[in-house]
Amino acid sequence: MSKFWLSLVLTLSMAQSIAAPLLTGNDIVSGKPISLAQYKNQTVLLVFFSAGCTTCVYNFKLIREFYKANRASHFGVIGVGLDSKPGLFRSYAELVRATTPKDEQFPLLWRLGATHRDGFGELKNDSTVFVISKNGEITLKREGVIKDDDWDEIWTSLQAN
């Protein structure tokens, strides 16, 4: 195989989506078990965040608007708190539940919780968003503010079979 073809094959294989790692835990407020596997055949926005993070607050505002508009499109959101203190994260989660309409709420897991398991590794930013396709593959990873073009990617993922 020529270097050109080998390079092309390697480039194409790297551009493909990768399978999403394991994610399980309990919702911090309800205690209900949550697993990424429950969202099979749905596009999922997996949002890692910290309470009080201004980028996280901004992203959540955009995510809630998108979630409201696309709920019927087999779309789910899971938030994973990165806070080191359980009391801080629980207070934040309870505030969100008290101030957010019920139909705009989604599970909030605490990454340091006893039941939490995930394979997403070390995150370099308090606001890290993964888009997981209906096929269970990571199609986008965004650290920091979600960009306008990212919403196009998310929309495309919603429309994919």
Q: Looking at the domain assignment, is residue 138 inside a domain?
A: yes
Q: Looking at the domain assignment, is residue 9 inside a domain?
A: no
Which residue positions in the chain have pLDDT lower than 50?
A: 1-15
Looking at residue 41, its pLDDT comes to 87
Looking at residue 77, its pLDDT comes to 92
Q: Looking at the domain assignment, is residue 130 inside a domain?
A: yes
Q: How far apart are CA 29 and CA 135, in angstroms?
A: 29
Looking at residue 57, its pLDDT comes to 86
Q: Looking at the domain assignment, is residue 25 inside a domain?
A: yes
Q: Looking at the domain assignment, is residue 3 inside a domain?
A: no
Q: Looking at the domain assignment, is residue 55 inside a domain?
A: yes
> Per the structure block, which two tokens stand in for 77?
């959101």
What is the reported pTM? 0.83
CATH (domain of 99): 3.40.30.10
* Number of domains the chain is built from: 1
Structural domain that includes position 43: 19-159
Per-position DSSP letters for 34-63, written without gaps between them: EEGGGGTTSEEEEEEE-TT-HHHHHHHHHH
Q: Looking at the domain assignment, is residue 150 inside a domain?
A: yes
Q: Looking at the domain assignment, is residue 11 inside a domain?
A: no
Could you give the angle at which helices 54-70 and 148-159 cross, rounded to 10 degrees? 30
